[in-house]
Amino acid sequence: MSDIPPPHNHLKHLVRCNLCFQSDSLPDQYMSIKQMSHGKKNVDNYGAWYMKCLSNPGPCKGFNWIEMPRGVCGDTIRCPGLLCLQRLQPRQGSNSCHIGLCSPCCVLAHQKTQNLPHCPAHHKAFLKEAQPPTAQHLLTPPSLPRPDSFSHPLSDVYRTRLRDLDTENLERVSSQAEGRSYARQAAKVVTVSWWMEDGAHPDTIDVAAPAHPYFHPIQAPDLVTLYAVDKDLFETFDRAQDIWKIGSANTPAQFVEKDVVLLYRTRGVKSGIGMPMGSLGTLNLRDARRIPSDIMVFTAAPSTPNGPVIRQPNFADSAIYNIDSPFEQGSSAFYSASPTLQRLPSTSSSSYQTHYSTPCDSLLSHTSFSAYTPSPQVAPPAAAKSVPAIPSVSTPELEQPPSATITSAISVSPSLALTDTELRQIVLSATRGASKTGWPFIETRAMAAGFLLMDRRRDTPTARNDNFRDAFGSDFVSSTYHDNRGAWDRACSAGVKPSALITENDTSRWRKFRAPYWNNP
pLDDT at position 116 = 79
Per-residue pLDDT of the chain (521 residues; tens, 9 = 90+): 445 556 677 787 888 887 877 776 666 678 888 888 888 888 888 888 888 888 777 778 788 888 888 776 656 678 888 888 888 888 887 777 888 888 888 888 888 877 777 787 776 666 665 555 556 566 677 777 666 666 667 778 888 888 889 999 999 999 999 988 888 888 889 999 999 999 999 999 999 998 888 999 999 999 999 999 999 999 999 988 889 999 999 999 999 888 789 999 999 999 899 898 875 455 444 444 443 333 333 333 334 444 443 444 443 333 333 434 444 444 333 333 334 344 444 443 333 333 333 344 433 333 333 334 344 444 444 444 344 444 433 333 434 443 333 333 333 333 356 787 778 778 877 778 777 777 888 888 888 888 888 888 777 767 888 888 888 888 888 778 888 888 888 888 888 877 667 766 656 788 888 888 876 54
- Cα distances (angstroms) measured from residue 349 to each of 181, 205, 375, 392: 60, 44, 19, 15
State whether residue 194 is helix, strand or coil. strand
Domain boundaries, the chain: 18-126, 187-287, 296-412, 416-517
* d(C-alpha 165, C-alpha 159), whole Å: 10
pTM: 0.28
What is the dotted CATH code of the domain comprising 187-287?
Answer: 3.10.20
* d(C-alpha 98, C-alpha 105), whole Å: 12
- φ/ψ (deg, to 5) at 446: -70, -40
* d(C-alpha 138, C-alpha 135), whole Å: 5
pLDDT at position 112 = 80
Angle at 453 between CA 463 and CA 410, to 5 degrees: 100
- Which residues is 264 bridged to in the sheet? 194, 236
Closest CA to 301 of 347, 238, 246: 347
